[in-house]
Amino acid sequence: MKILTAEQIKKGDRYTIEHEPVFSIQLMERAAEACVTWISENCKNHRNFAIFCGNGNNGGDGFAIARMLYQKGFDIDVFTNSKAKFSSDAQINFRELKEISGISIKEFKEVRDYRFDSRTVIIDALFGTGLSRPLEDEFKELVEFLNNTHNIKISIDLPSGLFADAVSPEGAVIFKADYTLSFQLWKKTFFHPETGKYAGKVRILDINISEEYIAEAETENYVVNDKAVKQIFRPREEFSHKGTYGKVIIVGGSIGKMGAAVLAARAALKTGAGLTFALAPKCGCDILQISNPEAMFIEGGTDVIDHIEVDENAVCGIGPGLGTDPKTAKAFLAFLKEYSQPLILDADALNIISQDPKNIKLIPKESIITPHPKEFERLFGPTGNSFKRVERAITKAREHHIYIVLKDHRTQIISPAGKVFYNITGNSGLAKGGSGDILTGIIASFSAQNYTPEEAAVLGVWFHGRAADSASEKYSKESMLPTDVIHEFGNVFEELNSLAVKAL
């Protein structure tokens, strides 16, 4: 699924109006109907809605939502500035609303005297994507007041005060929604930690914006959803053997950190690699052999890895529990100088590389690196915010012809061509040591199975997150462990195979 800018989305509305054809007021009606369907299905235990409407088209959506919810039997109070100059479609819906005697229309300033009981839901239809500057004066005070209430809050299209494509200025006041009902396509702002936290749980509602327009719209930003993954995944062939699915070598482990290598190797095994090896210090042999009897052991040193020799026909995932001992660093950098095949690099492999900026040039082309924000900063310098971090990653991926997996709540995969793929699976239960080691094993395994680097990274990140979502349902985000995530791999493969069958 494409991610378009706010300006492109406006053009999509205009294109739909002109080519369907449909009147703009009818498109607004569609949007309101989609919202009301979701609200009535998910807010059955709430009877009263306080709907805050601006004077633009987002306010027009709010007026239409108010009318439709009232017709479904909910109690409705609408807050607006009745003396404002409304957009033409908002004005039409406002006139219709005033004709309904059962709906109370109040001025914004009356909100402080309003009784918000426990069954009242607040709906924000003040600005949506129509905002081009931070909230000021009356609206700033209003949103600050609403944010301090304890009611469920729903934003229509976009939380008021939030920009669709950029970080809001420091200190800006933004409506903090529990849910955001947005239309047709995801917006970039939903994926970044500085901005996405205001949107709560995002639900994308289909309002039939022109498919032709969306198909032709140019973008380098995409959402990794089920449809995208279905196009990548290849079911296992019946007439095949272990050589069909490649060879993975996990290079890692050190005293006290052998578990990281165990997790990475197990993840590679459980995601279908034909052969899996663990190259680790001799001190970890028993641990690795007992924990992962299906994997083979390669000795890379006594207490730390001090030499790396691997089959160039294998895919190497290097870094889990590797440590940064000087002997290990020396051996790893010497290996990089001689090795030319793509690698999967994470954790201490990246920390060793970051010790000297010149080392980055040693990373083989087409490699996949998987830094978390701090590791990325060590490699490429501070950026100020996650939007700028993505921009820096695009530059560096192009410069070094590598794939960068920026691990975050909404992990981004950046290709050398400048494409950015935002993943929407996964949850905060992955914020535990060992989760990244699993991801290294998954991506290495898919790479060994002849997925392209882009496919392996995109599918691997999605798969990792989907397994984590399944684990969180069973064990909770707080209690789930990386090993619990691995236990869910079979369920994710069942889902993928089911999607593949439906595609026939």
Q: Report which of 94, 173, 90 is spatially closest to residue 131, judged by C-alpha positions.
A: 173
Please say whether the beta carbons of 338 and 309 come within 8 A: no
Please say whether the beta carbons of 444 and 317 come within 8 A: yes
Mean pLDDT over 19-38 rounds to 95
The distance of Cα 44 from the centroid of its chain, to the nearest Å, equals 29
Q: For residue 439, what pLDDT is reported?
A: 98
- Tell me which of 132 and 77 has the higher pLDDT: 77
Place of tokens 């995969």: 413
Assess whether pLDDT exceeds 80 at residue 164: yes
Mean pLDDT over 415-422 rounds to 98
- Look at strands 412-414 and 403-406 and give their pairing: antiparallel
Ramachandran area for residue 251 (φ above 0: left; ψ -120 to 50: alpha; else beta): beta
What are the angstrom distances between the C-alpha of 129 and each of 10, 204, 242? 9, 15, 52
The distance of Cα 202 from the centroid of its chain, to the nearest Å, equals 11
Q: For residue 132, what pLDDT is reported?
A: 78
Q: Which CATH architecture has domain 230-502?
A: 3-Layer(aba) Sandwich (3.40)
Q: For residue 118, what pLDDT is reported?
A: 87
Q: What does the pLDDT look like over 325-348, one tens digit per residue?
A: 999 999 999 999 999 999 999 999
Q: For residue 503, what pLDDT is reported?
A: 53
Place of tokens 């009147």: 23
Burial zone of 28 (CB within 10 Å; 0-12 exposed, 13-18 middle, 19+ buried): buried
Q: What does the pLDDT look like over 226-282, one tens digit per residue?
A: 889 999 999 999 888 888 899 999 999 999 999 999 999 999 999 999 999 999 999
Q: Which residues of 439-476 are buried (b: 16+ CB within 10 A; e: fewer)?
A: bbbbbbbbbbbebebbbbbbbbbbbbbbbbbbbbeebe
Q: Is 247 helix (H, G, I), strand (E, B) or coil?
A: strand
Q: The domain 6-218: what is its CATH number?
A: 3.40.50.10260
C-alpha span between 419 and 403 (Å, rounded): 10
Mean pLDDT over 85-100 rounds to 95
Mean pLDDT over 18-22 rounds to 93
Domain edges within the chain: 6-218, 230-502
Ramachandran angles phi, psi of 418, nearest 5°: 90, 5
Mean pLDDT over 440-464 rounds to 98
pLDDT mean across residues, the chain: 95
Model confidence band, residue 131 (pLDDT cutoffs 50, 70, 90):
confident
Q: Residue 51's beta-bridge partner residues?
A: 78, 123
Q: What does the pLDDT look like over 350-368, one tens digit per residue?
A: 999 999 999 999 999 999 9
The pair of structure tokens assigned to 407 is 């691990």
Model confidence band, residue 170 (pLDDT cutoffs 50, 70, 90):
confident
Q: For residue 502, what pLDDT is reported?
A: 60
Least confident stretch, 126-135, 195-204, 487-496 = 126-135
Q: What does the pLDDT look like over 184-231, one tens digit per residue?
A: 999 999 999 999 999 999 999 999 999 999 999 999 999 999 889 999
DSSP for 384-421, written as a single string: SSHHHHHHHHHHHHHHHT-EEEE-STT-EEE-TTS-EE
- Look at strands 420-423 and 412-414 and give their pairing: antiparallel
Q: What does the pLDDT look like over 35-90, one tens digit per residue?
A: 999 999 999 888 899 999 999 999 999 999 999 999 999 999 999 999 999 999 99
C-alpha span between 128 and 60 (Å, rounded): 11
